Amino acid sequence: MQQQQRWVRFEHGGETGFGTLEGDAVHEHRGNMFDRPEPTGRVFVLSGVRLLTPTEPTKVIALWNNFHALGEKLKLAVPAEPLYLLKAPNSYLAPGAPIRKPLCEGKVVFEGELGIVIGKACTAVSEADALGHVFGYTCANDVTVADILNRDASFAQWVRAKGFDTFCPMGPVVATGLDPATLTVTTLLDGEVRQNYPISDMRFSVHQLVSLISQDMTLQPGDVILCGTSIGVGSMKPGSLVEVEIGGIGRLGNRFG
């Protein structure tokens, strides 16, 4: 098992850096977060920096129908393979930054999720070797304009519905050394718990997702796989605060509108 650490990317004094978060102190590192980073010796108070998205992904992959409980509630057929889409880079959003209300009308919903962060490039990796390519885990909110998804009978609009600017908050950290099967995702809307579900309920486990998706496309360091969501998805109103909390990772908070 990897050593448990919490990695962040941050901006301070107009410069971008990364390091480990220990309590309220950010210990800056140099080099490559995923390949033997070295401490610089500089330490910043967390309140004195602005957190950025925890990595700079080449792509964010988002799963559909990956939890037994939600699939059974919606009476969805059991998928034979992972069903996924890509979230557009313009949707990536840092912790604490506002989720922008779309210019179009429609119900905007939150989906609290676990994000798998890739640390080592992989193509067609086996299930047995898949976890060796995982760096750690983060919190995410797969924001969606629900009304857009199926309003055209000839074309399901997954990319548009989930690809608006700011529709993929991630963070606040990438946590290493965690066993994902022990984790629980909790989503709060204005302080009220709306989702509370175990990652152990996933149809496809972390090692299965990494292996199967890498058969289709090469996964690069920093890429994120959103594991899908479960029961409790709900709509947000302008001014709503949505927080996604996972033990060992922390709490991702973003206000809508």
Could you read off the pLDDT tens digit of each residue along the chain, which spans 257 residues? Answer: 678 999 999 999 999 999 999 999 999 999 999 999 999 999 999 999 999 999 999 999 999 999 999 999 999 999 999 999 999 999 999 999 999 999 999 999 999 999 999 999 999 999 999 999 999 999 999 999 999 999 999 999 999 999 999 999 999 999 999 999 999 999 999 999 999 999 999 999 999 999 999 999 999 999 999 999 999 999 999 999 999 999 999 999 999 98
What is the structure's pLDDT at 235? 97
Neighbours of 20 (CB within 10 A): 18
What is the structure's pLDDT at 2? 75
What is the structure's pLDDT at 3? 86
**What letter would DSSP give residue 202?**
B
Q: Where are the domains of the chain?
A: 1-52, 55-255
Mention every residue, 6+ apart, whose C-beta is less than 8 A from residue 94: 50, 51, 52, 53, 169, 170, 171
Element (H, E) at 168: strand 168-175
Structure tokens at 18: 């990364």
Amino acid at 116: I
CATH fold of 1-52: SH3 type barrels. (2.30.30)
Contact between 252 and 97 under an 8 Å Cβ cutoff? The reply is no
CATH fold of 55-255: Fumarylacetoacetate hydrolase; domain 2 (3.90.850)
Structure tokens at 36: 């033997």
Output the pTM of the full model: 0.97
**What letter would DSSP give residue 217?**
S
Structure tokens at 50: 């602005």
Whole-Å CA distances, 133 to 1, 67, 81, 175, 224: 13, 23, 20, 14, 12
Structure tokens at 27: 């210990």
Gyration radius (Cα) of the chain, Å: 18
Alpha helices in 119-165 (DSSP H): 127-130, 146-149, 158-162
Whole-Å CA distances, 140 to 47, 154, 216, 225: 21, 30, 23, 10
